[in-house]
């Protein structure tokens, strides 16, 4: 019994490493969960436990962005995956490959709204705003502001109404004066 439990745990960890590695870009917890749960490869709690375990052991690394956790595989994770890839059933690999292909294709055409700021000094902040569709940038703005509160407010408004603000900017710039 212990042997089959250990094998299943190892297989689940390798499935997670395989999924993250195949994404070939940082992939969110939500995206990993969606891919593996929609295909009934493991349950939510097992998945979250093994993601944490793989991070703690240095096989995956995380990056926080816009209140989401994104995972990418480390060199150590790639090495581990190369040793044990054969324990993942071929059908699982094919299913993951197809799901990642769909994920990457949809990601390519997804509209990305970005709003972030950096401090240049105590009273000087640069706010960076953008709207991208796939690889095409619709608009990119860099705005200097005098306080962290102003920077946060601009980012918040941009994220809540990007299309409306974009339309207003275009209208203002193209209006006859």
Crossing angle of helices 75-84 and 2-23, rounded to 10°: 130
Please give the pLDDT value at position 145.
94
What the block records as the tokens of 156 is 């918040």
Neighbours of 150 (CB within 10 A): 14
Neighbours of 141 (CB within 10 A): 15
pLDDT single digits (tens) 130-152? 887 666 678 899 999 999 999 99
Terminal-residue alpha carbon distance, the chain: 79
Please give the pLDDT value at position 55.
95
Q: How many CA atoms lie within 13 A of 172 on its CB side?
A: 6
| Strands annotated E in 15-90 | 27-28, 60-65, 68-73
Please give the pLDDT value at position 135.
63
Angle at 6 between CA 97 and CA 83, to 5 degrees: 50
Q: Specify burial of residue 177 (Cβ count, 10 A radius: 0-12, 13-18, 19+).
A: exposed
Domain boundaries, given as residue ranges, for the chain: 2-108, 111-174
Please give the pLDDT value at position 74.
95
The CA R_g of the chain, rounded to the nearest whole Å, is 21
Residue ranges of the chain with per-residue pLDDT less than 70 = 1-2, 4, 66-67, 106-111, 133-136
Which of these CATH numbers, 1.10.286.10, 3.40.50.920, 3.20.20.140, 1.10.10.10, describes 2-108? Answer: 1.10.10.10
Q: In 3D, which of 166, 168, 150 has the Cα closest to residue 158?
A: 166
pLDDT single digits (tens) 26-52? 888 888 888 888 888 888 888 899 999
């Amino acid at each position: 019994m212990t042997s089959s439990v250990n094998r299943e745990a190892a297989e689940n960890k390798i499935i997670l490493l395989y999924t993250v590695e195949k994404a070939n870009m940082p992939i969110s917890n939500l995206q990993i969960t969606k891919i593996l749960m929609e295909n009934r490869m493991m349950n939510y709690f097992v998945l979250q436990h093994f993601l944490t375990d793989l991070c703690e052991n240095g096989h995956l690394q995380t990056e926080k962005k816009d209140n989401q956790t994104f995972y990418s595989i480390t060199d150590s994770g790639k090495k581990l995956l190369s040793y044990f890839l054969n324990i993942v059933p071929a059908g699982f690999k094919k299913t993951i490959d197809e799901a990642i292909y769909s994920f990457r294709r949809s990601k390519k055409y997804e509209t990305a709204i970005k709003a972030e700021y950096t401090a240049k000094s105590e009273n000087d902040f640069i706010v960076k705003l953008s709207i991208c569709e796939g690889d095409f940038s619709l608009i990119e703005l860099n705005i200097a502001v005098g306080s962290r509160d102003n920077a946060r407010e601009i980012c918040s408004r941009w994220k809540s109404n990007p299309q409306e603000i974009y339309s207003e900017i275009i209208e203002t710039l193209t209006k006859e004066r």
